[in-house]
Chain A
Amino acid sequence: MGSAAAPLLSVRELEVHFPTSDGLVKAVNGLTFDLEAGKTLGIVGESGSGKSVSSMAIMGLHRGTNAKISGEIVLDGVNLLDISAEEMRKKRGREVSMIFQDPLSAMHPYYTVGNQIAEAYRVHNDVSKKVAKQRAVEMLERVGIPNPDKRVNDYPHQFSGGMRQRAMIAMGLINDPNLLIADEPTTALDVTVQAQILDLLQDLQREFNSAVIIITHDLGVVAEMADDVLVMYAGRAVEHGPCKEILTHPEMPYTWGLLSSVPDLTGDTEARLIPIPGNPPSLLNPPPGCPFHPRCAHRDKVPGDLCRTELPLLVPGQRGETHTKRCHLPNPDAIYATEVLPEIAPDLAAGAAPTRAEEL
């Protein structure tokens, strides 16, 4: 596929709003991004920033609820918001599938792992139960479950956490979808297992040539997996660009905050772990201006009190068209290099050359 060809997934001005008795909850606003086949997009943000709500919108899982969705979600040339519920159902699990954060609660406790995986295959393929089960065994083997022909008959509670997530991945990939959405796939797992699962996802992505959206609040996962990164805050994209760009030259104070909150395990004990003060804003009554301004340490560096009055647009930053950010700061690079980096990684700031990203 050449660069001129349309991307696999193209999201335009996506809005997801939930009417509640207290008012309209604006969970996602004006979200726009593209994803090419075989590439990985990392969506990063705190809880409640709209990451999961956006991915559920792509899966069409808000159908049947009172969510108000507008914009476009074009997958392989088809706008998923225009098609019928039945057409969307047929795409779910076959063209786009999803794996979830907690594989124990995401699997039905009363059915065997094999039954649940085979079910995902049978619903989209007219095959016998026996064939589907055989296919489930093959997938379990592919995701690295030992003795898959025996373990296929186990119930989810008989699997370990890592094996359950492997089984979920097998379930998600059994129909060879073009797009896999992984919603915090490693959050509920041990650190050692996390790395295995991420490796597995990368291997399978190469093998199946699927596009992957990985939703996480862990920048380590992003650094490992993603080609592009989208940072979300209060339902909006606040920084978007190639992974390496964002991790080496972040231009939005919220992204700085996320980077400062990651512990540095490689020996720099001088480095401080700096949490972002305050809480994410209410999506019922977002603050005026930039939604991050109440927590932003740099708001006073912007002339004219713009941060409090005007929502910044998502515009290209200091390094070209592909890296966009939603911030009024006129000289983010300088502030990051002189004020932020020395705090979170003094060694790097002194050495000047490498960056935090390479450690991650």
Chain B
Amino acid sequence: MLAYVIRRAVAGVIMLIVMSIVTFALFFASPIDQASFICGKNCSPAQKQQTAAAMGYDDSFINQWWDFAEGVVKGRDYPDDPKLRETAPETIVHCEAPCMGYSRERGDTVTNLIKDTFPVSFSLAVAAFILWIAGGVLLGVTAALKKGSIIDRGLVGLSLIAYAFPTFFVGLILYKFVAIKWGLADIPRYTSIADGGVGGWLSSLALPAITLAVFFMAGYVRMTRSYVIESFQEDYVRTARSKGLPERTVTFKHALRAALTPIVTMAGLDFAGLMGGAIITESVFNYPGMGKLAVRASQDFDLPTTVGLVILLAAFVIAANIIVDLLYAVIDPRVRLG
């Protein structure tokens, strides 16, 4: 078990290194000349040359990637210029390990930007996750147990509608009617636990979390329903009935237990994807999360921030995959890790 975790973790780190090389290569291929972008409009070729040298943009691809990788491990200075270090040390920004780069546009290290925005995205992801798992699985099981009834058809129809609505539409509707017109909720503004306490934090999350959850819940209702219906067709459910078990035991101990396994996989991966920020929801509600940061970074051609976010999201997905596989071994005795 431990050997398995170590092996998966090592493979994950290698994957991340490859990811970072690919992301770097993509930006090298992009038509944006970072030096002239920073230098500005009225920039002489000499000035541009100087900027490129100071920022390290004139270096080769491999060297630039190596500097980045070294920064992640050891930290680095921006700009990394020994002369400047003597003459004007106050202009140098030190970026501590793990240094994911320095964003000139935002005047801060990417690590700090992520530290500021991660709690917002994480809070939102957790709140939405709890809502959609509880709602989706409960309603999905209900629909499956009442298969063919009005309740089932209603739930399937509603979830189809909810799934079809774009997130920004649901978000704007909630924003406009619930928060502004009817005043049922405060105008959503992210409040951390430190600022508003647990109550303030939760109520600030309500509308965006519901917005996100509606979309995912719709998918989970349909998925849960079909897994549960499928599970009831299994031979072992017939065996359970033929033993004379009460229908309650047949349903909960035998049918549902097996049906919920694949949902664990989906839920783990969806949650990991959300931790990297819910771009649309955060933008609609103007939440200072990683999704919004990613949008702004790509609008501003802020490459260091974009690279940092992509690699972080990749790390979440890789970690979630490992955790889901471990969970599987706990749930299903047939799965042996090795």
Do A and B truly interact?
yes
B residues 72-117 near A (Cβ < 8 Å) are: none
Decide if B240 is an interface residue (CB 8 Å cutoff).
Answer: yes
Which residues of A lie under 8 Å from residue B243 when comparing CB positions? 92-93, 97, 119-120, 123, 171
Whether B31 sits at the interface, judged by CB under 8 Å, is no
Q: Interface with A: B118-126, B181-189, B327-335, which one?
A: B327-335
Cβ of B239 and Cβ of A106 under 8 Å apart? yes
Interface string of B126-156 (1 = CB under 8 A from A): 0000000000000000000000000000000
Task: Closest A residue to B245 by CB, please name it.
Answer: A123
24 sample A-B contacts, Cβ–Cβ < 8 Å, listed by A number: A59-B242, A61-B238, A61-B241, A64-B247, A89-B246, A90-B244, A91-B244, A92-B242, A93-B242, A93-B243, A100-B239, A105-B234, A106-B235, A106-B236, A106-B239, A107-B239, A108-B240, A108-B254, A108-B257, A110-B257, A119-B245, A124-B244, A155-B333, A171-B239
Binary flags per residue of A89-130, CB closer than 8 Å to B gives 1, else 0: 111111001101010011111100000100110011000000
- B258 interface hit (Cβ, 8 Å): yes
Chain A residues near B244 (CB-CB < 8 A):
89-94, 120, 123-124
User: Closest 4 interchain pairs by CB?
Assistant: A93-B244, A92-B244, A105-B235, A93-B243
A98 to B235, CA, bound (A): 12
Chain A residue at minimum C-beta to C-beta distance from B148: A66
Taken together as a complex, chains A and B put the C-alpha atoms of A7 and B336 apart, in Å, by 51
Please give me the residue from chain B that is nearest to A108 by CB atom.
B236
Interface code B234-272, partner A: CB below 8 Å = 1, 0 otherwise? 111011111111110100001001100000000000000
Tally of A interface residues using CB under 8 Å: 28
Determine chain B's interface SS by DSSP, over half rule: helix
B206 to chain A, nearest CB (A): 37
B209-236, CB under 8 A of A: which get 1 and which 0? 0000000000000000000000000111
Residues on B with C-beta less than 8 A from A272 are none
Residues of A within 8 A of B333 (CB): 109-110, 155, 157
Question: Which B residue sits closest to A98, measured CB to CB?
Answer: B242
B235–A110 touching, CB < 8 Å = no
Query: Which positions 7-60 of chain B face chain A at CB distance < 8 Å?
Result: none
CA distance A13 to B222 in the complex (A): 42
In whole angstroms, what is the CA distance A107 to B234 when docked? 10
Contact of B242 among A61, A102, A109, A155 (CB under 8 A): A61
Smallest Cβ-Cβ distance to A101: which chain B residue: B235
Report the minimum CB–CB distance from B271 to chain A (whole Å): 23
* Cross-interface CB contact of A108 among B242, B258, B331, cutoff 8 Å: B258
Measured between beta carbons, the chain A residues less than 8 angstroms from B241 are 61, 92
- Considering the chains assembled together, what is the distance between the CA atoms of A93 and B334 in angstroms? 27
Q: Kindly state the separation between the CA atoms of A274 and B62 in the bound complex, as whole angstroms.
A: 74
CB distance from B152 to the nearest CB of A (A): 15
Q: Which residues of A contact B247 (CB under 8 A)?
A: 64, 89
Nearest CB of B to A314, in Å: 29
- Chain A's nearest CB lies how many Å from the CB of B235? 4
